[in-house]
Structure 1
Amino acid sequence: MDTGTDADQWVERESMEYDVVIVGGGPAGLAAAIRLRQLALEAGAELSVCVLEKGSEIGAHILSGAVMDPRAISELIPDWKAQGAPLDVEVTEDRFLFLSKSGATTVPNWALPDNFKNHGNYVVSLANVTRWLGQQAEGLGVEIFAGFPAAEVLYNSDGSVKGVATGNLGVGRDGKPTENFQSGMELHAKYTLFCEGARGHLGRQLHDKFSLRNGIDPQVYGIGIKEVWEIDPTRHRQGLVLHTAGWPLERDTYGGSFLYHMDNNQVVVGFVVGLGYSNPYLSPFEEFQRYKTHPEIRKFLEGGRRVSYGARAITAGGLMSLPKLVFPGGALVGDNAGFLNASRIKGSHAAIKTGMLAAQAAFEAVQAGRGNDELAAYPKAFKESWLYAELYRARNFKQWMGKGLYLGTLMVGIEQKLLGGNVPWTLHHRHSDHEMLKPAAQCKKIDYPKPDGRLTFDRLSSVFISNTNHEENQPAHLTLKDPTVPVNVNLQVYAGPESRFCPAGVYDFVKDESGRDRLQISAQNCVHCKTCDIKDPTQNIVWVTPEGGGGPNYSNM
């Protein structure tokens, strides 16, 4: 079995057997693991469950806004408050602003659709919530292997999913084993649940293998960029949730911001840009830095201190972009399938709920003596759940907003505020994000101001505080199908958008010793946001798993 290096010829991989293997230690994967063990304990049944997490620890790669709807976690662990779940800051106030370059218009609360009302929700660090879920899972007997990315899907002779293999350790940049080489492990299971988050590396392969997207709208994405700040206590409003739309983005570019007041005089400030934008000169990172200079945002941050940074792609296609969820031997769960509700800017509750639904189906199948077939009960249960109803009401949100800020706002207001999402029409996504860039010659250059180092910053200083690290002597995890394409196509036609859509300074066009352009890839900077894998107009960049434990190490994100 090929894991993409020459090391496999040296060592035979060992294997371990489980009833259920879960790929990804985020909210979806941990909710599935917890629910599986809860069901087993309730039934007095034996059930072995393991979770593979590519981050150095549970929560290390988790980044989200986040305002959390507690509905799903209350179903999973009803006494979460007594158990010490880190949902401590209840939302006290919602504000929504439309920004111009120097002004702002506040939307009255009575005019806000329900999707922008957060009464009963909590401002959280999703990384910390995930760490807590990991503790609950381990307490129930789940085996968690952090720092072990699932690098390969394994198949039975009949084509069903057999499990996954972890990546090899100690492979050099040249693909040869070093003195520290350790072979990856094979983990076999009756069912494997893929909970990798947006644009999962293995999820993409499964889409192709089992034709999961046939007849389905293409998935569309946004990139979310986030910072945590400690601010002046006199400017802090614990529980305040602030969203904006408009400046600095052009009216035809989908996006918006969030600024959430946590406890301990901290705020999380972030910016989301839809990756369907057309101007290759646009830089989501620089747009975020500009946004912070707006008077309505600056007033909270000035005099404060930035303490952390990160970025992550999010799915935004909603119900119409969900693929087939199941295939022989496994299922897609959480944001790996695309369950995030873009209209609410929330996905953690959907991840937890779908983890529970997939777990229920897998448990019943194992107890019935089945294995490696399709868990048909999972999509059926989703169709009958409150989550389906929620996503159905919001099914047109991204499609309308993709038509421009004013028309989109008007139509979302009509659908959500006046009609409660009960409309007879359904809009569809027609194009993938990578198809949307126009040639640079057709677009206007964007002049971004230089960072001041106090309110606005550059990429490299930002990556530094994300605690990102990769072992340098390893095969590149940012791979090119054709190494000539970046210069011959992307640079010539699109002015090298890689250097702008990446929020971590991974890609840069430089001159070689003979004065010719080449693409320099600094993979050690990668924060695993997956934007390059999504937005590259030629789909020439393919993100694969690096050595275990590499990437960001988020603490309070």
Structure 2
Amino acid sequence: MQQREFMEYDVVIVGGGPSGLATAIRLKQLAEQAGRELSVCLLEKGSEIGAHILSGAVFEPRALNELIPDWKEKGAPLNTPASADCFLHLTETGSIQLPTPPQMKNHGNYIISLGNLCRWLGEQAEALGVEIYPGFAAAEVLYNEDGSVKGVATGDMGIGKDGKKTDAWQPGMELWAKQTIFAEGCRGSLTKVLFERFDLRQNADPQTYGIGIKELWEVKPENHQRGSITHTAGWPLDTATYGGSFLYHLENNQVVVGFVVGLDYQNPYLSPFEEFQRFKTHPAIRQVFEGGRRISYGARAISEGGIQSLPKLTFPGGVLVGDTAGFLNVPKIKGSHTAMKSGMLAAEAVFELLSSDKGNEAVSYKDKFEKSWLHDELRSVRNIRPSFRWGLWPAMIYSAIDTYLFRGRAPWTLRHKHADHECLQEASLSCKIDYPKPDGVLTFDRLSSVFISNTNHSEDQPAHLRLKDASVPVEINLKKFAGPEARFCPAGVYEFVGEPDAPRLQINAQNCVHCKTCDIKDPTQNIIWVTPEGGGGPNYPNM
């Protein structure tokens, strides 16, 4: 076996999202202030920084103000201040405007493309001396002899579908570090390994997730209200299913529209993608998009468990930051400022550790987090998401009491009791859902949607979506749950094909937008998502 080459750094960061970039920038700032050298490397599996970044996004600049106070002068792409908030409850044919919850008021925030912000943060990081390598997927965690994390290895390139080396084969590179920061985003594939290796979830509630599906539109000027923000709850989801929508009016007559469905939903016939398409047909919504043009599409899972689902954040040789740990503020529908702050706190703890050379675990990260505004923010909203297991209206009433009466200081914590994949009920107990066919004007199918996500994978590579047992999809998932893979995937990756008496699951891995929903929602946990070759997947512009 050919020996892999290696490079050594003080810190290696896995992931070029807001948390990873904030970590890198803060590390370099601290080193500069201390007058010492610190080598920092950041790996990003997307073809460029921002290629895989997907978010609403209404951005709260609190963490950015702390990290780069002169961001305006440096040209950060925060161009559209939030101007108006609207919160609607939708019925099938009408809408009722409700008071906007305080967490969802956006005065002082900005409607942005998070991908473009990350591209700008990448430029700031490189200017400070961070080495950024896009197109390289960290595929393996490396360990020292004492069991601590040594770093990561990138995946081999040029492996054919048959698992054999092709003429283009290149071995992966090992990156060794004194500390490795995992900033992989929601449901990180390496982070899952770390959870088990170091038992990081031992004292945490099960993580619960949502899938967010988003489109970017160019609308008619008369339908555009720059800075306008609308959120909805209700139709087309039933009152037992957590979810809602957002419409954010950017500059240049552009509107982002998205739909989030909690992945603890019960009905196996539910399709988050189809619910999103159906949502756009509502009379209060379709008028915004009539005569417009859809520009881009994407989907991504988000971690919704909140503070009670946070794992242990440190382990020998590294730390977790951002949504890979679960720092999203669900009632605010924001996770970028919290991700950035977690990275900044981790950077301070790691820098202290490297400066003192005492041990190999940045244990002060936990203390810094608990003393920060990030902890206070997440703790104050901890009971809102788990209350929705009671249904929409009881949860909204409870959330109002928790927010206005207790002000987030209720003397109890509601727990998450089940992982999302355990919540799916059998098809025989469920009602089928009849979704209308797409019209190609306002509503669309999966394949045309994936096309405008610019998703691409090398066809001659092993599928990065793997089955523990190839018989399970038909023998269990199809027979008991009516084949939910074909519905919970927003990219048409999973299809049951063949004759009715001999069906089989076909995996169209080249369609995958890396949302991780299959890894989360598969009721038998038979699907494993691993990193494909670096640079594969979506390439989101302005998302």
Q: TM-score range by the shorter chain?
A: over 0.9
Alpha-carbon contact 1:400-1:411 (below 8 Å) kept: yes
Moved more, 410-419 or 139-148: 410-419
- Asked if residue 353 in structure 1 is aligned to residue 341 in structure 2, the reply is yes
Is the contact made by 1:114 and 1:417 (CA closer than 8 Å) also made in structure 2? no
Alignment of 1:103-182 (within 5 A): 103-108=94-99, 112-182=100-170
Q: TM-score, normalised by structure 2?
A: 0.99
Return the alpha-carbon distance in structure 1 between the equivalents of residues 399 and 73 of structure 2: 38
1:365 aligned to 2:353?
A: yes
For 2:541 and 2:358, locate their aligned partners in 1 and report how far apart those are by CA, in whole Å. Answer: 40
- After TM superposition, the score normalised by the length of structure 1 is 0.97
Tell whether the 8 Å contact from 1:28 to 1:195 is kept in structure 2 after alignment. Answer: yes
- Aligned partner letter, 1:253: T
After TM superposition, what 4+ stretches of structure 1 lie above 3 angstroms from structure 2?
A: none
Task: Specify the code of the residue in structure 2 equivalent to 1:395.
Answer: R
Matched residues in 1 for 2:493 and 2:524: separation?
18
Deviation of the 1:420 alpha carbon: 1.7
1:401, distance to aligned residue in structure 2 (A): 1.7
Show the counterpart of 2:521: 535
Residue equivalent to 1:428: 415
1:299 CA displacement = 1.0
Kindly provide the CA deviation profile for residues 347-366 of structure 1, in whole angstroms up to 9, marking residues without a partner as x: 00011001101111111111
Match among 89, 92, 97 for residue 98 of structure 1: 89
Alignment partner of 1:32 out of 18, 23, 36: 23
How do 1:365-444 residues align onto structure 2 when only pairs under 5 Å count?
A: 365-370=353-358, 373-444=360-431
**Please, which moves more after superposition, 351-360 or 398-407?**
398-407
Once residues 215 and 441 of structure 1 are traced to their aligned partners in structure 2, the CA distance between those partners, rounded to angstroms, is: 35
Task: Report the 3-state secondary structure (helix = DSSP H, G, I; strand = E; otherwise coil) of the residue aligned with 1:402.
Answer: helix
Q: State the secondary structure of the residue aligned to 2:367.
A: helix
Tell me the distance in 1 between the aligned counterparts of 2:492 and 2:88.
Answer: 31
Aligned residues of 1:113 and 1:417 also touching (Cα < 8 A): no
- Cα shift readout 1:380-434 (whole Å, capped 9, x = no counterpart): 1000000100000000111112221100111111111333212112100000000
Amino acid of the residue matched to residue 27 of structure 1?
A: P
Question: 1: distance between equivalents of 2:525 and 2:268?
Answer: 15
Task: Report the AA paired with residue 364 of structure 1.
Answer: E
Count of aligned positions: 543
The answer as to whether partners of 1:170 and 1:474 remain within 8 angstroms in 2 is: yes
Aligned-pair distance for 1:515?
5.2
Which amino acid is 2:301 matched to? A
Per-residue CA deviations over 1:209-260 (Å, capped at 9, x if unaligned) read 0000112100000000000000010110000010000000000000000000
Q: Does 1:489 align with 2:480?
A: no
Distance in 2 between residues matched to 1:389 and 1:32, nearest whole Å: 20
Structure 1 position 107, deviation (Å): 1.2
Q: Report sequence identity in percent.
A: 66
Of residues 188-197 and 399-408 in structure 1, the stretch that sits farther from structure 2 once superposed is 399-408
1:49 aligns with 2:37: no
Q: Structure 1 residues 309-318 or 295-304, which shifts more?
A: 295-304
* 1:369 shift after superposition: 2.3
1:97–1:105 contact (8 Å) kept in structure 2: yes
The alignment partner of 2:541 has SS state of coil
* Cα contact 2:353–2:361 (8 A) shared by 1: no
Distance between the aligned counterparts of 1:75 and 1:352, measured in 2?
A: 10
Alpha-carbon distance in structure 1 between the residues aligned to 2:542 and 2:366: 33
Once superposed, what is the RMSD of the aligned Cα atoms?
0.9
Shift in Å, 1:38: 0.7
Can you list the C-alpha shifts for 1:476-513, whole angstroms capped at 9, x where unaligned?
Answer: 1000000000000000000000000000000000016x
When structure 1 is superposed on structure 2, of 415-424 and 455-464 the one drifting more is: 415-424
Question: What are the superposed Cα offsets for residues 327-364 of structure 1, whole Å, 9 maximum, x if unpaired?
Answer: 00001100000000011000000110011011111111
2:511 is aligned, of 496, 517, 525, to: 525
- Alignment match of 1:333 (pick from 304, 307, 321): 321
Structure 1 residue 244 and structure 2 residue 239: aligned?
Answer: no
Name the counterpart of 2:176.
Answer: 188
1:281 matched to 2:269: yes
